[in-house]
Amino acid sequence: MKSDSLRNHPLITGTLLLTLAGLLSRVIGFFYRIFLSQTIGAEAMGIYQLTIPIHILTISLTSSAIQTAISRFVAQAAVNSAGTTGHLNQNSAPGKLFSLRGRSQNTLCNESCYLSAGLILSLSLAFFCTVFLYQLSEPIAVHFLEEPRCTPLLQIMAFTIPCGAVHACINGYFYGLKKTFVPATSQLLEQLVRVLSVWLFFEISLEKHNAISLNLVVWGMVAGEIAAMLFSISFLRHKKSRGSRFHAVEQIFFMAMPLSANRVLVNLLQSMEAVMLPGQLRLYGYSNTEALSVYGILTGMALPMVLFPSVLTNSVSVMLLPLIAEAQEKQEQRYIINAVKKTCFYSLLLGFGCTLMFLLLGKWMGEVLFSNTLAGTFIVTLGWICPFLYLSTTLHSILNGLGKTTHTFFLNILGLGIRICFVLFVIPLTGIKGYLWGTLLSQITMAVGALLMLLLHCPNGVKKSKQKLDYL
């Protein structure tokens, strides 16, 4: 039906745009890393890579969770705005207006109100993190990263935080409106400007016969974030903010808090793995060189290859969140149930397809692409996580769209706990196989847990719509 195809349109086109942008960005990043490795050398690349976890941590603290919250509340506010102007709910009985729940709290704020509230909260955190990182860059570099040469890189990186916060909030606003052109294009623009500016900085240094400084790579990050921020701002249209910004800040804060804690813990776990895994492998019997080599092959070759198809499920997840939030605001339980069913089907279909591909071609990928037999073995083993990884990614997005952020927080804590336990207690007995088993078990646990929580939220006895619905 025509109305059904229109309803599908935002999810399909949004997913395609985000997937295309993600693929292009990863391809650009792949060649960019080759360029850097040939230009600045392996040691400088290692120093630069040490700063990346700090950068990701600042994003988790200042903007990523707030972006998700803005997306959800903007989607709900868009529904309420349409309802207050008298638009009909096309999926309700004829002549029935949107159910506004007696003008619930969400109707106090419109889309612009949530955007401005998110910007206030995100920029406040961003400026604090900027000052903190700039002032304490030397202690962080010396005592945490154990590399004093990271100090100027962290100081320059601090300037990316406010720009990234503005960019992320605007992206969340457009995701909530189900308009993905600006986020997708700004992602590509940021990557392109970063690469081109670094290349230009290097060319100028060579022309002036100056030594190529690693600082120029981080200045490229600053240039990319500024370009993406200005591009996103240029697409904003003035719309009078309606509602209490204080109330909007409060709503965003209480939704973003568990999400932010979750993402910070993920980053801390990755840092812990970087420190703990080689040490636990040494307890198993590897030499220091062997332990570091195995860890590098796993994290630098096998995992990126297995995670590459997740660009599609990540794009679907971004689009699902505002759609589910909108359906919840309209009290369309049937839509949510259908979303869960079809998300499970297509995620598992993609996941098992990728598992089959990695089982058949994993060893070939390791030997041909990386010239490493062990990488192929890891790819084959890690291929089994694909169905559960893709399923948990999309189901967690549905839970976040329903406002169940504490549920996803609990599930991620559970998954991280399983991985840490395997690193601490199983790897010394079984070697790197213990980490692979722990990763698989954690993904299964998070996927099954998310599915059970959604089944409890949408039991078989919920009220069904009187008319036949065919969403997604």
Band of the pLDDT at 34, cuts 50, 70, 90?
low
- Give backbone dihedrals phi and psi of 94, rounded to 5 degrees, phi first: -55, 135
- Average pLDDT taken over every residue of the chain: 78
Mean pLDDT over 375-391 rounds to 90
209-223, 231-245, 378-392: segment of lowest average pLDDT: 231-245
Per-residue confidence (pLDDT) for residue 10, from 0 to 100: 58
Residues 88 and 266: their CA atoms lie apart, in Å, by: 43
The predicted model scores a pTM of 0.65
Residues 447 and 443: their CA atoms lie apart, in Å, by: 6
Residues 6+ positions from 261 with CB-CB distance below 8 Å: 409
Mean pLDDT over 232-243 rounds to 79
Mean pLDDT over 220-234 rounds to 92
* Cβ atoms within 10 Å, residue 143: 9
Find the farthest-apart pair of alpha carbons in the chain and give their distance in angstroms, rounded.
75
At 424, is the secondary structure helix, strand, or coil?
helix
pLDDT one-digit tens code per residue, 167-186: 999 998 888 887 888 888 89
Residues 456 and 453: their CA atoms lie apart, in Å, by: 5
Per-residue confidence (pLDDT) for residue 112, from 0 to 100: 81
pLDDT one-digit tens code per residue, 189-218: 999 999 999 889 888 887 877 767 888 888
Band of the pLDDT at 131, cuts 50, 70, 90?
very high
Q: Which residue carries 């010396």 as its tokens?
A: 142
Q: Which two tokens stand for residue 466?
A: 């009187």
Residues 135 and 262: their CA atoms lie apart, in Å, by: 26
Mean pLDDT over 77-91 rounds to 54
pLDDT one-digit tens code per residue, 434-443: 888 999 999 9
42-51, 70-79, 386-395: segment of lowest average pLDDT: 42-51
Higher per-residue pLDDT: 468 or 354 = 354
Q: Which two tokens stand for residue 387?
A: 């169905």
Residues 431 and 448: their CA atoms lie apart, in Å, by: 27
Instruction: Report yes or no: 322 and 172 within 8 Å, Cβ to Cβ.
Output: no
Q: Is the pLDDT of residue 231 over 90?
A: yes
Band of the pLDDT at 466, cuts 50, 70, 90?
very low
43-47, 59-63, 178-182: segment of lowest average pLDDT: 43-47
Q: Which residue carries 């900027």 as its tokens?
A: 130
| Torsion 287-289-291-297 (CA) sign | negative
Q: Is the pLDDT of residue 70 over 50?
A: yes
Residues 66 and 56: their CA atoms lie apart, in Å, by: 15
What DSSP string runs through 335-375? HHHHHHHHHHHHHHHHHHHHHHHHHHHHHHHHHHHSS-HHH
Q: Is the pLDDT of residue 132 over 90?
A: yes
Mean pLDDT over 305-329 rounds to 75
Band of the pLDDT at 95, cuts 50, 70, 90?
very low
- Using alpha carbons only, how large is the chain's radius of gyration in Å? 23
Per-residue confidence (pLDDT) for residue 41, from 0 to 100: 65
Q: What angle do CA 83, 89, 94 make, to 5 degrees?
A: 125
Residues 283 and 275: their CA atoms lie apart, in Å, by: 13
Per-residue confidence (pLDDT) for residue 222, from 0 to 100: 93
